[in-house]
Structure 1
Amino acid sequence: MNLDRLTELRKKKNWSLQYTADLLGIAKSTYAGYESGYRRPSLEALAMLADLFDTTCDELLGREKQKQTAPQAIELATWSSLDFTISVDGQPLSEDEIIQLITFIRTKRKVQEELS
């Protein structure tokens, strides 16, 4: 996990380690551990960091936006041929939402593997 961006974002705001930790409601040593790579933030903490620095988790992790890959296209074609729909809040998922769902599951699995 690459969180080098944390130091850059914090310094851009001219915030100290202590001030940043206080904003997050965590110990200074915990936040310093995130910046140094000694500690890995939980998914919840990662989301809090992204919100604090007005960015995305993907950007904090150094991920670039990925184009739809061939496996997603195949999965989507298979999904489309099924004789049922999945609805959320009474509305069927769109093609874009299905792709987002597949991407979310893959990302979650990858993060879990990295944490293992």
Structure 2
Amino acid sequence: MAGGHANRRRGEVEAVIDGDRRILCLTLGALAELETVFSVSDLNGLADRFSSGRLKAADMIRLIGAGLRGGGNLFSDDEVAAMSIEGGILAYAQIVGDLLAATFAEPGGKATANP
């Protein structure tokens, strides 16, 4: 996404994916998509699932895909799965962690108990 920068107050994060700087954001629509994909009934269910610290590679693909779509990037999860990120799996995990923190953390950095 050329031109803009991530605005953390809006829950945005920035990542270089496939060599291009992208903005990711878990918008309300992206969160609703994830509730459906992960078969949880509400945002608390999502927060509980993600707070375990145990994510499968498929979970990371879905989170990054939803974040990319929320940030205005039109990629399917299959396209996200084929993308590369410098730094490998640790870099993917960092993007997911940043995205979840930007979405579910309070401005002071603490995770919200009740999103």
Query: Does the TM-score normalized on the shorter chain lie above 0.5?
Result: no
Calculate the TM-score normalised by the size of structure 2. Answer: 0.31
More strand by share: 2
Larger Rg: 1
State TM-score, norm by structure 1.
Answer: 0.31
Highest RCO, 1 vs 2 (Cα 8 Å, sep ≥ 6):
2
Q: Which has the higher helix share?
A: 1
